[in-house]
Each structure stands twice: as C-alpha cells, then as structure tokens.
Amino acid sequence: MGDVAVIVPTLRRPESLGRALRSLFAQTGVLDRVAEIVVVDNDPSGSAAVTVSALGKASPWPLLYVHAPTPGVATARNAGLAATAAPLIAFLDDDEAASPDWLAALLRAQAEIGADAVFGPIAGRAPEAADWLRPYLERFFGREGPDRTMLVDSPWGCGNSLLVRATALPGSAPFDTRADHAGGEDDALFAALGQRGGRFGWAADAWVEEFAPAHRATLKYALARAFAYGQGPSQTAAAAKDWPGVARWMLIGAAQATVWGLASIGLSLIASPARAAVYDRTARGMGKVLWMKGFEPHFYGARELARLEAAEA
C-alpha cells in the first residue's frame, strides 16, 4: 500500500473536478506511493458522485467518494482526512490541474529537506477575464516562490501542498470549522505548526494550474479576497492575544491603505491597467485595519453554494 493520499475537496464544479482528477490519474513516478485519491463532495445534494463514478475506472489507484453535506472548506478537509489513514497528505483543489510530475516533485522535496509542510508553484489562469484585467488575475490566482527546492520561513495555502500527518495535522479534525465560510483554516493550521517548531518547504518543480471560474474571475471577487488576506496578520496576532502586534499591523495597514488608495485614484483617472494591482494593495491595507468580527468576507460554505445555485438558475 502507498503512503500518500491526495484529497480533493469539491463543491458543484463537475467539469473542473473532472480535469483535476484526470491530471491526478496521469501522475508519473508515484505508482507505488499513492494509497488513494479522496474526493470530498461538499454539496448537500451529492452532485459530485456522478463525476467520481464516471471516472473511477480510469484511476490507477482507489478513488474514494466522501459526502460531507454541510458546506464549508474546513469541514470538507477534515472529512477527507477522516477517510484515509495515509501518513502523507497531498491537497489539490478542484479548480486546479496538476502537472504530470507534481506529486513526485512534492515527495522528492519533502524527503530532501524534511519539511512538515511542502508547497508548490501555481500558474493562474483566467481565460474569461477582461483583457486589461487578465494579467492581474492570473498573478492573483497564481503562486510564486524560490526557483529551487528549499526550506522557507513562511507557509502558503493548502492548495498544492504535501503535509506530514503526524506533525502538521494533529488530532482528528485539525482544520478549524469556524473558518468554514470565510476561509483561513489553513492559515490558522500553519501558524500553529510554526509555533510548534514545524518546518515549511518549497518544491520548485511541483507545478499546478489554477483555473478561475467565471464568477471568481472578476475584480470585485479578487479585491474581496485581497481584503481577507490583509486581515490575516491582524487576526493571527489577535488570536495569540498579541495586542501590540495587532496595533502594529493596524498602523501598517492604515499607511498602506492611504498611500495606495491615493495612487489608485490617479491610476483610475487615466484608466491604467496597473490600477488593479494598486486596488489590491489598498484592499490588503484596509483588511489589516478592519480585521474584527463582522468584517470577514464569506467565500465558502453556504454563501458559495448560493452563488453557484444562482449562476445555474
């Protein structure tokens, strides 16, 4: 039996889920390493069962279907973990497609540098975005890091990652379900891992592509996410009751929002394509200031399900 399970949480994205699974079936150099692929269907109606059933015979490894009917990103990840006993856990999001060497590259990096959590690069794709906005969105949905495999000081998100279960995923439900709707469940997990002395790594060759669906390939959505990303440092400091740290991040955010906000006005007046990136920096600054409960944007769970149902109607 293999020692790594790949978990793919999904919510009403049959076409992109199929693309993600077919990219996993095409992985090279890991035939004896994969214990199973676990698809966690976060749709109350269980809509992903059809896709998993249709593709099951094409998988070189057991393809498990898990129904987690309560929508929420942390709930879905925890349900995937509960379905496997594998000591190594790889996460691939349902809007991502892995390169053929993806999993092998993550495993090589983890063995080489001994990190508890390893992350890889992401090439963002926003084919339906407006021409002036597409370069910004593809950077936004992408992920860049060092040009070589190495230990790094800071973590990235769970999408495109390999985690050592014993050290990085403690307990039966390591993802905090309070983050089900706003996200950030991986930020909290990795912050706690860092506090325990855990090590983070970068696998420079573990590429995936991330395809932004139409309802996310918009400036409004990206800026809401940028605002939420900006909230992260202040919220992490608040969770640790580091109130001087909270104050410091709020001051930094206020300065960023002021400087970049003024710059965004000027770039908007001349309709510069660069204005999107400046809006982004302004939103991140505002997030550091307005980090408190009640200001969190909701991207997952019931809110995301409602968006998808509205789009299908």
Percentage of the chain exceeding pLDDT 70: 96
Strands in 88-91's sheet, in edge-to-edge order, are 63-67, 34-41, 4-10, 88-91, 161-164, 117-119, 200-202, 150-152
Residues of the chain below pLDDT 70:
300-303, 307, 309, 311-313
* CATH entry, 4-211, from 3.40.50.720, 3.90.550.10, 3.40.228.10, 3.40.50.970: 3.90.550.10
Which tokens belong to 43? 């749709």
Length of the chain: 313
- pLDDT by residue (tens digit) across 230-268? 998 998 899 889 999 999 999 999 999 999 999 999 999
- pLDDT by residue (tens digit) across 126-146? 988 889 999 999 999 999 999
Give counts: helices (H), strands (E), the chain: 11, 11
- Domain extents for the chain? 4-211, 219-312
- pLDDT by residue (tens digit) across 163-177? 999 999 999 999 999
Pairwise CA distance, residues 140 & 119, whole Å: 17
Q: H or E element: which one contains 208?
A: strand 208-211
Q: pTM of the prediction?
A: 0.89
